[in-house]
């Protein structure tokens, strides 16, 4: 049977010429093999001086392009490692490029042919080694980063902490920004609030930053122990090699002050549970009639007060939920937030909260209900712009390959551009893979994991933990008379 063959040859160094792997020798042997088989050579794709550690090579790009255009039905190499030295890349080319386009792959030296039963079995073996390679690379990278952190080096990346520059693998103090860091810690420690400190920094021209400071970014500076010479990775702090900007004493005093002020802020509003809402369902309740939010309040009649005093009870007030726009009588004063009113009744806080917790416990016992929730959920992440950009990149690469193939531009001039485009392509693909990981099955599994401890928390009568549970699982509760509709939080 006559085949249209694409011959691929590669050398990474000049030394391979002496080892019998030169471009000329590979090409000659492969062409002779085709003559013996009476196969037609469509093209010889050459990558001279390119490493086999990845597939970002001009000759490989042209080969893949012609495979997808169905110009050839067989890819022939002298040795398997000429295609790639990476098991992962080899498997990708064979399965996702060659097999997907009905193109056979043959390695002359190993007698490897994917059109045969033995060759197909070898693909399965390759996939095992590819998975092992991926895991080994991930483990080596993780251990390498832990090793760097233990040695005191910053983890790196495009964004160094404000106050430092990342130079030659190390953090070096940025003198201008470091002064701002000292100002933030000192003025907060001297009593200035976060809001006032943020406004002051911006009024001074947000020195050292291209954009304005925000409450969150100022708080991040105050929380960051990089400024006392620490580095951290995977939640563990290590002694760093870089110079500290502030003293450990000032940093630790600021951490205590942050906690003290936050606790004081909640206490100011008579919340007995710092960091947790006073009412479990505050912010979650909506009226099914007028659409208004519902808030928690406390009130009592003179009769209830008298009965409580007889029983020597400390609290005379009854907690309940009502529409926020309803005229309410609290401590004897009439208050109306809006002129329009709603006829939705008030709800006992204890009864309503108990009912909501019962719904959560029921959901925890029926994972199939959780699965159905996410099957109905539409995809939230818009991946179309990412896919469109991927197509644009593919088209750009093809245009460069056409120019290279026609001889109108040298390989040296297009190498940098193609490498840059491939880097962007890889980043976009990673983004799409991450979006795919947030599919219905994964999200449902995460929600079921959160529900696993629901029964224990509900039985504990710990109002703080119950409130956290409710707020993590529920997005909205809609009330209309005796009917209650729960909108579950599907963003997992």
Active site residues: 12
According to DSSP, the β-strands at 483-488 and 474-480 are antiparallel
Asked whether the beta carbons of 97 and 67 are under 8 A apart, the reply is yes
Helix locations, 69-116, DSSP H? 80-83, 87-92
CA proximity to 336, closest of 370, 367, 292: 292
Asked whether the beta carbons of 70 and 33 are under 8 A apart, the reply is no
Calpha distance 215→471 (Å, rounded): 24
Kindly state the helix (H) or strand (E) to which residue 40 belongs, with its residue range: strand 40-48
Residue 181: phi and psi, rounded to 5, are -60, -45
CA proximity to 278, closest of 231, 317, 228: 317
Token couple for 374: 């996410």
Calpha distance 356→466 (Å, rounded): 11
Asked whether the beta carbons of 5 and 76 are under 8 A apart, the reply is yes
Calpha distance 220→261 (Å, rounded): 16
Q: Which residue shows structure tokens 């479990």? A: 280
Helix locations, 98-163, DSSP H? 117-150
What are the DSSP calls for 420-442, one per residue? HHHHHHHHHHHHHHHHHHTSHHH
Q: Which residue shows structure tokens 């939080």? A: 489
Calpha distance 308→205 (Å, rounded): 59
CA proximity to 113, closest of 101, 128, 98: 98
Calpha distance 351→307 (Å, rounded): 21
Calpha distance 84→80 (Å, rounded): 7
CA proximity to 458, closest of 450, 449, 467: 467
Distances (CA, A) of 368 to 292, 447, 448, 470: 32, 12, 10, 20
Residue 439: phi and psi, rounded to 5, are -70, 175
**C-alpha of 353 from chain center:** 34
According to DSSP, the β-strands at 4-11 and 40-48 are parallel
According to DSSP, the β-strands at 483-488 and 74-77 are unpaired
């Amino acid at each position: 049977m006559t085949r249209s063959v694409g011959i691929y040859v590669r050398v990474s160094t000049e030394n391979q010429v002496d080892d019998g792997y030169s471009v000329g020798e590979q090409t000659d042997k492969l062409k002779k093999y085709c003559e013996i088989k009476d196969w037609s050579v469509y093209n010889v794709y050459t990558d001279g001086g390119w490493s086999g550690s990845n597939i970002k090579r001009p000759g490989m790009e042209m080969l893949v392009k012609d495979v997808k255009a169905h110009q050839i039905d067989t890819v022939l190499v002298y040795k398997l490692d000429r295609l790639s030295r990476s098991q992962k890349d080899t498997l990708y080319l064979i399965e996702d490029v060659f097999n997907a386009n009905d193109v056979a792959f043959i390695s002359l030296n190993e007698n490897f042919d994917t059109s045969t039963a033995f060759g197909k079995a070898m693909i399965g073996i390759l996939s095992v080694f590819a998975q092992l390679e991926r895991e080994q690379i991930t483990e080596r990278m993780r251990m390498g980063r832990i090793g760097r952190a233990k040695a005191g080096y910053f983890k790196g990346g495009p964004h160094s902490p404000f106050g430092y520059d990342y130079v030659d693998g190390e953090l070096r103090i940025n003198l201008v920004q470091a002064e701002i860091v000292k100002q933030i810690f000192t003025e907060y420690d001297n009593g200035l609030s976060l809001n006032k400190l943020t406004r002051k920094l911006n009024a001074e021209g947000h020195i050292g930053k291209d954009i304005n400071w925000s409450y969150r970014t100022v708080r991040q500076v105050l929380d960051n122990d990089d400024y006392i010479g620490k580095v951290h990775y995977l939640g563990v702090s290590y002694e760093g090699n870089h110079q500290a900007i502030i003293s450990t004493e000032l940093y630790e005093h600021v951490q205590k002050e942050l906690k003290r002020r936050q606790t004081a802020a909640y206490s100011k509003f008579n919340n007995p549970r710092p960091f947790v809402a006073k009412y479990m369902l505050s912010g979650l309740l909506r009226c099914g009639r007028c659409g208004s939010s519902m808030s928690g309040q406390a009130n009592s009649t003179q009769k209830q007060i008298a009965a409580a005093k007889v029983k020597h009870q400390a609290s005379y007030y009854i907690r309940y939920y009502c529409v926020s726009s309803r005229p309410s009588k609290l401590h004897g004063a009439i208050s109306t937030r809006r002129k329009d009113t709603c006829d939705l009744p008030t709800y006992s806080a204890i009864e309503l909260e108990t009912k909501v917790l019962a719904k959560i416990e029921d959901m925890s016992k029926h994972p199939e209900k959780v699965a159905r929730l996410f099957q109905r959920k539409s995809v939230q992440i818009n991946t179309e712009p990412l896919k469109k950009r991927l197509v644009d990149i593919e088209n750009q690469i093809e245009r460069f390959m056409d120019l290279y193939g026609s001889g109108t531009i040298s390989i040296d001039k297009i190498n940098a551009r193609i490498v840059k485009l491939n880097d962007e392509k890889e980043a976009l693909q990673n983004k799409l893979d991450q979006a795919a990981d947030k599919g219905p099955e994964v999200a449902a599994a995460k929600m079921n994991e959160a529900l696993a401890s629901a029964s224990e928390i509900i039985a504990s009568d710990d109002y703080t933990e119950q409130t956290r549970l409710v707020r993590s699982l529920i997005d909205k509760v809609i009330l209309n008379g005796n009917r209650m509709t729960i909108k579950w939080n599907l963003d997992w």
